[in-house]
Chain A
Amino acid sequence: MGGEFTHAGAASSELKTILTGLGISADLVRRAAIATFEAEMNVIIHAAAGVINYSVTPDKIQIVVSDMGPGIPDIELAMTEGYSTAPDWVREMGWGAGMGLPNIKKNSDELRVESVVGEGTTIEIIISKKEGDACEGE
């Protein structure tokens, strides 16, 4: 994926279907899908290419999204709600509101962001399958 809006969201949709098929609760699936969708959109908006890897264990869902994009110079700033570097054409598609990383953080129990300017960004999303570890939002 990357730079291709036509199929944007397809990878997250596939992950959602797989997690649902594994019998994971609807709320956890929804949180994983939203976090992955936002990460996928970041790759499509900012990077030439990217990869999603995920694993599911009895304790957690781990999703790792790596891209070959421009990197994030200031991760703390990028985590600020409303801060966006997306171009106008992305906003016209309904994205670029500056809520991507904050939204990923909201739906994760653990979030790690590693980025090298000029090389790319990797984010690791952990969603705990233990009840009560995060706000369920229901």
Chain B
Amino acid sequence: MTLGRIAEILDAEFLVNAGDPNTEIESVCSSDLMSDLLHFSARPKSLLITGLINNQVVRTAEIADINAVVFVLNKRPDRETVSLAEEKGIWLLVTRLSRYTACGRLYGEGLRSCTEEDGCD
């Protein structure tokens, strides 16, 4: 699913536009715990849905090759965090939806969890 389509489904606003909105996202992870993301969920070409808005979210996305981050409940990161995302080429979006609803909408449209089909463990 493209990031542009995801933004439509989540009624989300782009805070950082990191390139082509037709960029494909293959899976979604959602957590406010960065180590849980790194251990269980994060996969390349994925989207992170989180309520955490500090720069650690962007660092985690960069390290784990997460392409885009959606902040829920209309929470907005500070300028430093936005600048870091711009520098690292990571999309940032914000939606008024809750984490539960945002995940539910994308699941209903066919996007699946980063942890599914992961035969590593």
Contacts and interface: CB of A to CB of B under 8 A. Distances in A.
A14 B59 CA distance: 11
Given A97-B33, A106-B39, A135-B120, A37 B54 contact: no
B63 A94 contact: no
Summarize B's interface: helix, strand, loop or mixed: helix
B72 to A, nearest CB: 14
B34 to A, nearest CB: 4
B52 interface: yes
B35 A9 contact: no
Contacts of B118: 137
For A9, A16, A93, A100, the residue with the greatest tally of chain B CB atoms inside 10 Å of its CB is: A9
A49 to B, nearest CB: 20
Contact of A16 (B63, B120, B121): B63
Contact of A99 (B32, B35, B64): B35
Contacts, number: 77
Contacts of A106: 39
A1 interface: no
A38 B38 contact: yes
A94 B54 CA distance: 9
Given A8-B56, A135-B120, A137-B120, A13 B35 contact: no
Interface in B29-67: 32-36, 38-39, 43-44, 52, 54-57, 59-60, 62-65
Interface in B9-31: none
Interface of A: 5-6, 8-10, 12-13, 16, 26, 30, 33-34, 37-38, 41, 93-95, 97-100, 102-103, 106, 135-138
Closest 4 CB pairs of A and B: A9-B59, A99-B35, A137-B120, A97-B33
Given A9-B55, A34-B63, 18 more contacts: A10-B59, A12-B59, A13-B62, A16-B63, A26-B44, A37-B63, A94-B52, A95-B35, A97-B33, A97-B35, A97-B36, A99-B36, A99-B38, A99-B39, A102-B39, A103-B35, A136-B120, A138-B43
